[in-house]
Structure formats: C-alpha cells, structure tokens
Chain A
Amino acid sequence: MNLRNILRILLTLAIFALAILLAFRLWHHYEYSPWTRDGRVRADVINLAPDVSGLVTEVAVHDNQRVHRGDLLFTIDPLRFQHAVAEAEAAVAVRKAALDQKRSEASRRARLDGVVVSSEAREASGFEASAAEAQARQAQAQLEVARLNLERASIHAPVDGYVTNLNTFVGDYAAAGRAALALIDADSFYVYGYFEETKLPMLRLGQVVDIRLLGGGALLHGHIESLSRGVTDRDNATGQELLSNVNPVFNWVRLAQRVPVRVQIDSIPDDLMLSAGMTCTVIVRPQKPVKTAAEAAKNR
C-alpha cells in the first residue's frame, strides 16, 4: 500500500467523519434544543355581562373597536330603573315623615307628667321613634340600590381593550349575568408555548425567548414567566360506573406530553396587530444554567 492509497482512504474517511459529526449536530440542534413550533398568542378575554336585565337600547361601540377604560359600551333601557329610583325616593319621604311624627310624639310625651301619660306609653313612643329611624335608614339603603341599578344599566369598559365578535344589538334582551360582549384586554397579550415534556428540564424561568409569528416575519422577544403545573391525563378518563378508563398504549412508542409554558412578551411594536389565537414559534435562547424552573419554584 503506497502513500497515494493511504491518502485516498484518509480523504474519504475524513469527509465521512465530518458528515457524521455535522449531521449529529444538526439533529441535536433540532430535536433537543428547547424550542417549539406549537406556540399560541393569547390574551385575557373579559366576558362582559350586564349586572341588571333589560332591553338593550343603545350599543355605543362597533365590532373590533378599540375602547378605553370607562368608555360606554351599551345601555340597557333605564326607564324601569328610573321608576324604581322614584319609588324608592317616595318610600324614603314616607319613612322620613313617619320618623318626624314618631319623634315629635316621643318628645311631647317625654315632657308630659305621669298623670296624663303612663310611663309605659312614654317608653313605647321612644321605641317607636327608634324603629321609625331604622325604617328610614332601610328606605335610604333601598334608594341607594335603586340608584346603583340605574347606574349599572349603562355598561362601561373595565379595561383598555378591543370589542370582539360583537353580537349584541339594539332590541336584544340582555339578561343579568349572561355575557353579552367579549372584550380583549389590550395590555394582556402573552404567548403560550406548548413544549414537549422532554424539553422542560432545559427551561429556566426568566430565560429570554424569541417569538416568531407564523403570519409575517415579525420577531418578538419575551421571557419565560412560568410553566403550567398540570395538563389533563388523556389516558385516564372516567369510564362507566365511575371506573377509570385506562388507554392501552404501546410500550415502545410513547408520545411526549405538551406542557404550556407562559411567555411574557417584552415589547410589542406599535404597528404589529396581534390577535389572540395566532400561531407562533417559540425559541428559547441558550443561556448559562442559573436555576431550573423546578429549583426556582422550590426556593419560592
């Protein structure tokens, strides 16, 4: 075997070794680095329900409108509540008159001597005055409730946000406690990255992540805020007769569960229109190990 032959063999082996090394690195980069394609943009959705029931007389917003905290959203017919306030005011007037009457009776009887009025009647009129006072306070409280109902007939935005999927129109009957309008909190956008459980040990709280939205190449930055402490066990549903219904799975192929990791978006560009439900890729930047999520939680 001459030198030329050895060189031929070495050249082939060298490129073969390089190929194995590179392929392994790429595989490792893709399969074991902490990133996921399964990310979702989410936001707090407020299901606005009126506190009182009634006919909707005015819808002050249109679909997808940006609203600010305190803006009027819709109004429920206030007539009934105005009448209730008038009734309560009348009741207060009645009780006040009764209170005045009882008070003057009591003070008059207190001034008379024992020959004209018995001490029992004098005592009773004092108690009647106290009861009348309590009734006047009760009527006053009912008036406050009536005023509150009137006030609650106009529904205002509790936060800055966006009206979404507006399905309430003038003439609808809005029932108390039943959501009539969804409001997306504009300051609450965050990302849920569904990471395979095999990648969770690589995540640290506070780690910087890159978020790339599927629609357009906008690159956002954020950091890991927390991770979910529970996902549904899909292999153990409750079956008939309250017995557990354990799925017979393969012993060899096991799918990794996905655990939601909450990522806070550090800054959102003004020109970017984020929408809850968008798909994104979440890539955790490599970082020197400081503290694993589990350790941080343990120390807390």
Chain B
Amino acid sequence: MPREVAIYGVLLPTLLPILIGVAACYWLLDTALGRFGFYQRVWHPPLFRLSLFICLFVGAAWVLQQ
C-alpha cells in the first residue's frame, strides 16, 4: 500500500485515512465494551482505553503498510 494517498490533488499520509477508519471502529468497540461492563474489570479504564486505541491504530497501520 502506498505511503500516501492523493485526495483531490493533495498528498496525504495513508495514516490519516487509517486513523479515521480505526477511530470509527474503536468507537463501536468502545461503546460495546462499555455496555457489557468490561471496563469495570480492568484496573485503570482511561489508560486501558487509550492503550487499546493505540494498539488498534498501530496494528492496522502496520498490517496495511506492509
């Protein structure tokens, strides 16, 4: 996958669309986890959520960029 995408002639890093896509997925996942009460089982919910988002984003970027 190229490292950048051209949107209307503007060269953007591919990371940007990936970020947007992952953010949408994360929002769904986050809502679901919150609904099922998963965050009550972890030690520090804000830290866990942040880490989860970073893992998802970097994982997606890593897989798609190879």
Please report A residues at the B interface, Cβ cutoff 8 Å: 5, 8-9, 11-13, 15-16, 18-19, 22-23, 25-26, 29-30, 35, 37, 212, 214-215, 217, 279, 281, 283
- Closest residue of chain B to A27, judged by CB? B58
A16 and B11 alpha carbons, distance in the complex (Å): 32
User: How far does the Cβ of A44 sit from chain B's closest Cβ, in whole Å?
Assistant: 27
Indicate whether A8 sits within 8 Å of B43 (C-beta atoms), given known contacts A25-B62, A212-B3: yes
User: How far does the Cβ of B7 sit from chain A's closest Cβ, in whole Å?
Assistant: 12
User: How far does the Cβ of B1 sit from chain A's closest Cβ, in whole Å?
Assistant: 9
- B54 contacts across to A, CB distance below 8 A: 19, 22-23
- A215 contacts across to B, CB distance below 8 A: 6
Q: Are B43 and A281 in contact (CB under 8 A)?
A: no
A81 and B36 alpha carbons, distance in the complex (Å): 95
A35 and B42 alpha carbons, distance in the complex (Å): 40
With an 8 Å Cβ cutoff, the count of chain B residues facing the other chain is: 22
- Closest residue of chain B to A216, judged by CB? B6
Q: Are B3 and A281 in contact (CB under 8 A)?
A: yes
User: How far does the Cβ of B26 sit from chain A's closest Cβ, in whole Å?
Assistant: 13
- B58 contacts across to A, CB distance below 8 A: 19, 22-23, 25-26
Q: Are B3 and A35 in contact (CB under 8 A)?
A: yes
Q: Are A15 and B3 in contact (CB under 8 A)?
A: no
- B2 contacts across to A, CB distance below 8 A: 212, 217, 281
Q: Are A22 and B43 in contact (CB under 8 A)?
A: no
User: How far does the Cβ of B37 sit from chain A's closest Cβ, in whole Å?
Assistant: 13
- A22 contacts across to B, CB distance below 8 A: 54-55, 58-59, 62
- Closest residue of chain B to A35, judged by CB? B3
* B41 touches A (CB below 8 Å): yes
User: How far does the Cβ of B62 sit from chain A's closest Cβ, in whole Å?
Assistant: 7
User: How far does the Cβ of A213 sit from chain B's closest Cβ, in whole Å?
Assistant: 10
User: How far does the Cβ of A134 sit from chain B's closest Cβ, in whole Å?
Assistant: 70
* B35 touches A (CB below 8 Å): no
Q: Are A12 and B61 in contact (CB under 8 A)?
A: no
Indicate whether A19 sits within 8 Å of B51 (C-beta atoms), given known contacts A26-B58, A37-B3, A212-B2: yes
Contact mask B50-65 → A, CB, 8 Å, 1/0? Answer: 1110110011011001
A173 and B54 alpha carbons, distance in the complex (Å): 67
Which of B42, B44, B58 has the most CB atoms of chain A within a 10 A radius of its CB? B58
* B48 touches A (CB below 8 Å): yes
- Closest residue of chain A to B54, judged by CB? A19
A215 and B2 alpha carbons, distance in the complex (Å): 12
- B51 contacts across to A, CB distance below 8 A: 12, 15-16, 18-19
- B61 contacts across to A, CB distance below 8 A: 26
- B43 contacts across to A, CB distance below 8 A: 5, 8-9, 11-13
A25 and B3 alpha carbons, distance in the complex (Å): 16
The residue from A5, A12, A214 contacting B48, defined by CB atoms under 8 A apart: A12
- B48 contacts across to A, CB distance below 8 A: 11-12, 15-16
The residue from B3, B15, B47, B65 contacting A16, defined by CB atoms under 8 A apart: B47
Q: Are B50 and A214 in contact (CB under 8 A)?
A: no
Q: Are A37 and B4 in contact (CB under 8 A)?
A: yes
Q: Are A8 and B59 in contact (CB under 8 A)?
A: no
Q: Are B55 and A18 in contact (CB under 8 A)?
A: yes
Selected A-B contacts with CB under 8 Å, 13 pairs: A11-B48, A12-B44, A15-B48, A16-B48, A18-B51, A18-B55, A25-B62, A26-B61, A214-B4, A217-B2, A279-B11, A281-B4, A283-B3
